[in-house]
């Protein structure tokens, strides 16, 4: 395949960026999207040009490191996959592909397609944990009976890899799907109930402080989420927040 | 965390939008029911309109609450839209919003502005003359006038067309807004499917019912 690429290039966080046109050839349908970018970067190195910076790590959809807004969608046109799991068979010979960084006030661009997602870390640090005594007398979590329904819901929420696709795709740059998944994965389990009130208040407060927008329930985040995190978590977070605010 | 912080939070604003929206939906239901009677019975419509227009609780308690509710919903809508737009300082070169969300959910501000503009016309058409008739000119009570006043307003094809156009945008607003309100207040459970179905039915029946009423009076007067 021969493809025309329009890629966001930006030297650093303080400089202005712009879309730059590139062409790549001999792209195989079985290549991953990131491999296609690797080929582009190889060609740029040969030409002595600056390579395109993009985030990646595990390249198997687990770590949540890869991002990219491809042809107007977070992680590209496929569903329930991260960019590293996106294959070039989803594109046709002669296509023009727009590749942009995840855009949000809370995700400032560091360079080219790399954004700073440490806002998510700060939200997690504000309450996304449970306090457990790790002195050596820790009780095995499996000794506490938990209804399967609750365990399944908590696990579903915990599959969130914190990639930020929800923020990137939301027209309001809202982080509520991420935060609600992190609230839910604890609040559904007995171990998480002890700090439930402080957790939801602190995490929502930190989310707002990071400059993310407000959820308007378009549902775009759920559609684009590579792990299929449900909007049900946002409703649960809203309930938890209201309950914690009132009581 | 202080109470003021909680009230300023994104979730509190979202819940406030939802509750004011649900309040307006309740009012809309009553308004629709009253207007619908005009299709079936002039006498019944006059009786209900007279009651709504002269009952002191409705006039001096419910009406101010309604106006505050309308103003709150629209002002909060604009405030949130401004905040949300500022949350993405640099727009995408290509944004395929249609691939993952409905037009109505992505454009509540547009449908809201059309409905707000319509409310301006609606107040000019009905509310302002009604207030002038009762409280400025201090005319004697006349329980028989409402049906004819309604018919006169819909004689104009342009006004009827504007009403129909506006109600189509109300349909788009409700199509997302009704179910979104429940999600915002945290309702997402085994009843959600039924609520969604009811919400979509409401979003169709009420606005298109209003269009039917406008057309009915246009062609029958």
Q: Could you tell me if residue B198 is inside a domain?
A: yes
Q: Which residues of chain B make contact with A238, given a CB cutoff of 8 A? A: 11, 14-15, 183-186
**How many other C-beta atoms can be found within 10 angstroms of the C-beta atom of residue A162?**
19
Which DSSP letter does residue B140 get? Answer: P
Q: State how far residue B210 is from chain A, nearest Cα, in angstroms.
A: 26
* Homologous superfamily in CATH for domain A118-246: Alpha-helical ferredoxin (1.10.1060.10)
Element (DSSP H or E) covering residue A6: strand A3-9
Helix (H, G, I), strand (E, B) or coil at A208: helix
- CA–CA gap between residue A67 and residue A78 (Å, rounded): 13
Model confidence at A242, pLDDT cuts 50, 70, 90, reads very high
Q: Is the ipTM value over 0.90, yes or no?
A: yes
- CA–CA gap between residue B45 and residue B68 (Å, rounded): 26
Residue B1: per-residue pLDDT = 55
Element (DSSP H or E) covering residue A23: strand A18-24
- Asked whether the beta carbons of residue B100 and residue A73 sit closer than 8 angstroms, the reply is yes
Residue A48: per-residue pLDDT = 98
Model confidence at B7, pLDDT cuts 50, 70, 90, reads confident
Q: Could you tell me if residue B110 is inside a domain?
A: yes
Q: State how far residue B4 is from chain A, nearest Cα, in angstroms.
A: 11
Do the Cβ atoms of B59 and B66 come closer than 8 Å? no
**Helix, strand, coil content of chain B in percent (nearest 5):** 80, 0, 20
Delimit the domains of chain A by residue range. 3-111, 118-246
Model confidence at B5, pLDDT cuts 50, 70, 90, reads low
DSSP class per residue in B31-90: HHHHHHHHHH-HHHHHHHHHHHHH-HHIIIIIHHHHHHHHHHHHHHHHHHHHHHHHT-SS
Q: Which residues of chain B make contact with A68, given a CB cutoff of 8 A? A: none
Q: State how far residue B112 is from chain A, nearest Cα, in angstroms.
A: 14
Structure tokens at B174: 């409700």
Q: Could you tell me if residue B80 is inside a domain?
A: yes
The whole-number average pLDDT for the span B183-193 is 93
Quickly count helices (H) and strands (E) in chain B. 11, 0
Q: Could you read off the pLDDT of B141-179 as tens digits, one per residue?
A: 888 889 999 999 999 999 999 999 999 999 999 999 999
Does B134 or A188 have the greater pLDDT score? Answer: A188
Q: State how far residue B194 is from chain A, nearest Cα, in angstroms.
A: 15
**∠ CA(A165), CA(A18), CA(A174), 5° rounding?**
25
Q: Could you tell me if residue B12 is inside a domain?
A: no
Strand order in the sheet with A3-9: A18-24, A3-9, A96-100, A69-70, A73-74
What residue in B sits closest to A173 (Cα-Cα)? Answer: B87
Do the Cβ atoms of A16 and A10 come closer than 8 Å? yes
Structure tokens at A6: 């329009």
Model confidence at A62, pLDDT cuts 50, 70, 90, reads very high
Q: Which residues of chain B make contact with A106, given a CB cutoff of 8 A? A: 87
Provide the number of structural domains found in chain B.
1
CB-based contact, B86 to chain A, within 8 Å: yes
* Homologous superfamily in CATH for domain A3-111: Beta-grasp domain (3.10.20.30)
Q: In Å, what is the CA distance from B118 to each residue of A38, B165, B199?
A: 55, 9, 22
Do the Cβ atoms of B181 and B15 come closer than 8 Å? no
Q: State how far residue B87 is from chain A, nearest Cα, in angstroms.
A: 5
Residue A136: per-residue pLDDT = 82
The whole-number average pLDDT for the span B124-135 is 88
Give the residue from A60, A163, A63, A61 showing the smallest Cα distance to A120.
A163
Task: Work out the angle between the directed axes of helices B157-184 and B108-122 (0-180°, nearest 10).
Answer: 130
Q: Could you tell me if residue B175 is inside a domain?
A: yes
Q: Is the model's pLDDT at B127 over the cut of 80? A: yes
- Asked whether the beta carbons of residue B186 and residue A216 sit closer than 8 angstroms, the reply is no
Structure tokens at B211: 């269009």
- CA–CA gap between residue B34 and residue B31 (Å, rounded): 5
Give the residue from B52, B57, B67 showing the smallest Cα distance to B123.
B67
Q: How many residues does chain A have?
A: 247
Which DSSP letter does residue A86 get? Answer: -
Give the residue from A66, A69, A65, A73 showing the smallest Cα distance to A220.
A73
Q: Is the model's pLDDT at A162 over the cut of 90? A: yes
What residue in B sits closest to A219 (Cα-Cα)? Answer: B101
- Asked whether the beta carbons of residue A104 and residue B97 sit closer than 8 angstroms, the reply is no
CB-based contact, B80 to chain A, within 8 Å: yes
Cα dihedral value A241, A204, B19, A217, nearest 10: -120
Q: Which residues of chain B make contact with A104, given a CB cutoff of 8 A? A: 87-88
């Amino acid at each position: 395949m021969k493809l025309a690429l329009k890629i966001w290039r930006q030297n650093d966080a303080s400089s202005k960026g712009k879309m730059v046109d590139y062409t790549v050839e001999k792209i195989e349908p079985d290549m991953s999207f990131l491999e296609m970018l690797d080929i582009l970067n190889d060609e740029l190195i040969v030409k002595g040009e600056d390579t395109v910076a993009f985030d990646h790590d595990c390249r198997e959809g687990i770590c949540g490191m890869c991002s990219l807004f491809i042809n107007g969608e977070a992680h590209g046109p496929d569903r329930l996959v991260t960019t590293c799991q996106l294959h070039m068979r989803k594109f046709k010979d002669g296509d023009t592909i727009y590749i942009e960084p995840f855009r949000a006030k809370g995700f400032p661009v560091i360079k080219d397609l790399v954004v700073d997602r440490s806002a998510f870390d700060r939200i997690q640090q504000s309450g996304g944990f449970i306090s457990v005594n790790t002195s050596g007398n820790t009780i095995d979590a499996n000794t506490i009976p938990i209804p399967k329904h609750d365990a399944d819901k908590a696990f579903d929420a915990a599959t969130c890899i914190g990639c930020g696709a929800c923020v990137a795709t939301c027209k309001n740059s809202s982080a509520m799907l991420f935060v609600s998944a992190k609230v839910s994965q604890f609040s559904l389990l007995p171990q998480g109930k002890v700090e439930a009130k402080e957790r939801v208040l602190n995490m929502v407060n930190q989310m707002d402080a990071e400059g993310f927008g407000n959820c308007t329930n378009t549902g775009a985040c759920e559609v684009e989420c590579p792990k299929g995190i449900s909007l049900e978590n946002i409703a649960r977070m809203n309930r938890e927040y209201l309950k914690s605010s009132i009581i | 965390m202080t109470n003021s912080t909680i009230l300023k939070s994104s979730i509190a604003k979202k819940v406030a939008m939802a509750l004011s929206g649900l309040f307006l939906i309740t009012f809309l239901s009553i308004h629709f029911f009253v207007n619908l009677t005009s299709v079936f019975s002039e006498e019944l419509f006059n009786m209900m309109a007279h009651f709504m227009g002269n009952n002191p609780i409705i006039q001096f308690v419910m009406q101010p609450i309604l106006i505050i509710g309308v103003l709150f919903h629209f002002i909060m809508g604009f405030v949130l839209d401004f905040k949300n737009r500022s949350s993405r300082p640099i727009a995408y070169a290509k944004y395929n919003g249609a691939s993952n969300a409905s037009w109505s959910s992505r454009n509540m501000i547009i449908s809201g502005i059309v409905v707000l503009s319509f409310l301006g016309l609606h107040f000019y058409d009905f509310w302002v003359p009604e207030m002038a008739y009762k409280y400025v000119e201090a005319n004697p009570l006349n329980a028989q006038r409402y049906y004819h006043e309604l018919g006169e307003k819909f004689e104009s094809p342009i006004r009827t067309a504007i009403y129909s156009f506006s109600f189509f945008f109300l349909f788009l607003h409700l199509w997302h807004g009704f179910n979104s309100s429940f999600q915002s207040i945290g309702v997402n459970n085994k009843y959600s499917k039924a609520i969604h179905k009811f919400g979509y039915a409401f979003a169709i029946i009420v606005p298109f019912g209003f269009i039917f009423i406008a057309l009915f009076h246009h062609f029958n007067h």
